[in-house]
Amino acid sequence: MFELKRRPRRLRRTAAIRDLVRETRLSADDFIQPYFVVYGESVRNPIGSLPGQFQLSIDELIKDAKEAFSLGIKAVILFGIPNSKDSVGSETWNDNGIIQNATKALKDSIPELLVISDVCFCEYTDHGHCGVVTKTGELDNDATLLNLQKQVISHAKAGVDMVAPSGMIDGMVGAIRSALDDEGYTLTPILSYAAKFSSSFYGPFREAVDSSPQSGDRKAYQLDPANRREALREVALDVEEGADIIMVKPALPYLDLIRELKDRWDLPVAAYNVSGEYAMIKAAAERGWLDGEAAMLESLISIKRAGADIILTYFAKEAAKAIS
């Protein structure tokens, strides 16, 4: 009989052996929980396309964040939903705005929690684009940079621990770093959405924050999904301008990019497991087409295996419970 010298199945035979030799492990420390914050009290509005996620008033946000923190999730990212919008998103630099007030409340209630603010304008502009728009309908890049500087200073004054620019505006990291340093916030890190693609997987998020463009789309500033080299150029620019953490968004369709960032740059790599990725698993699980928890964990482990040190995910609390 033929003698097999190598039998890889030996190390897969029992759960104990599989646990012993597992190469990649998930931890609650890996996760950042996104939150959608609104004005009011006792507000907990379900988001139809994101089962289990809500628009939360600040009092409800604190309750939810305390639960997340108790599960070992030490970081959150905030997306604000204002009461009013205008053409430039001026509410973003209102020192009494929704993100600013939410940040102060979280830092008062859970001082050890890492509070990150998403830095963009799409939720705050009446046209739904990520900055100032010209009369011809184009994004005015450099005018937007000036407003980004005002936004991050207001957020830093409110006490955010980290800022996360997400608009794919040319020069955004450099402009933000300069503004923070000039105002004395030299220790405030920048988590850059360095490779953010124009993706079909953002639909549920746009429902959550009412940020769909009123005309056109964002393909003129977000990356073409077909372009790998262009994405790497974008990341290189953000690294050069002072990004402390570099991120790929979405995660699952771009695992190759996550791996390439990990191999190329000696910086922490984040990945955003976006709303559409979450919604697909939830929808299929509700229909009994797959095991929701198993699919959740498999998708998250694939993101980490690809090279992500940090995962922004709506599954954060659910995954933390599953792996505890």
Instruction: Determine which helix (DSSP H) or strand (DSSP E) holds 284, and give its type and residue range.
Output: helix 275-286
Residue 19 lies in a domain: no
Mean pLDDT value across residues 114-138: 85
| Among 317, 288, 315, CA closest to 302 | 315
Mean pLDDT value across residues 69-75: 98
Mean pLDDT value across residues 54-77: 98
Residue 89 lies in a domain: yes
Report the predicted TM-score, pTM, of the whole model to 2 decimal places: 0.94
At residue 299, does pLDDT exceed 90?
yes
By percentage, how much of the chain surpasses pLDDT 70? 97
**Is there a contact between 314 and 77 (Cβ–Cβ < 8 Å)?**
no
What pLDDT does residue 206 have?
Answer: 75
By percentage, how much of the chain surpasses pLDDT 90? 81
Residue 9 lies in a domain: no
pLDDT level of residue 43 (50, 70, 90 thresholds)? very high
What pLDDT does residue 131 have?
Answer: 78
Quote the number of domains for the chain: 1
What pLDDT does residue 211 have?
Answer: 62
Which of 85, 196, 282, 304 is an active site residue?
A: 196
196 noted as active-site residue: yes
Which residue spans within 143-244 are E strands per DSSP? Answer: 162-165, 191-196
Euclidean distance between CA atoms 271 and 47, whole angstroms: 22
Euclidean distance between CA atoms 64 and 92, whole angstroms: 23
Residue 224 lies in a domain: yes
249 noted as active-site residue: yes
Ramachandran angles phi, psi of 253, nearest 5° = -75, -5
| Among 101, 91, 55, 50, CA closest to 209 | 55
At residue 1, does pLDDT exceed 80?
no
Q: Could you read off the pLDDT of 305-316 as tens digits, one per residue?
A: 999 999 999 999
Mean pLDDT value across residues 198-211: 82
Euclidean distance between CA atoms 145 and 173, whole angstroms: 9
Which of 85, 249, 282, 304 is an active site residue?
A: 249
Q: What is the CATH classification number for the domain harbouring 262?
A: 3.20.20.70
Residue 157 lies in a domain: yes
What pLDDT does residue 216 have?
Answer: 52
Euclidean distance between CA atoms 122 and 137, whole angstroms: 15
pLDDT level of residue 227 (50, 70, 90 thresholds)? very high
| Among 124, 120, 118, 119, CA closest to 87 | 124
Residue 7 lies in a domain: no
Q: To the nearest whole number, what is the mean pLDDT of the chain? A: 93
Where in the sequence is the domain holding 253, given as residue range(s)? 26-323
Residue 17 lies in a domain: no
pLDDT level of residue 218 (50, 70, 90 thresholds)? low
Query: Which residues, in sequence order, are CB contacts of 165 under 8 Å at separation 6+?
Result: 119, 120, 148, 152, 172, 173, 176, 190, 192, 193
Residue 47 lies in a domain: yes
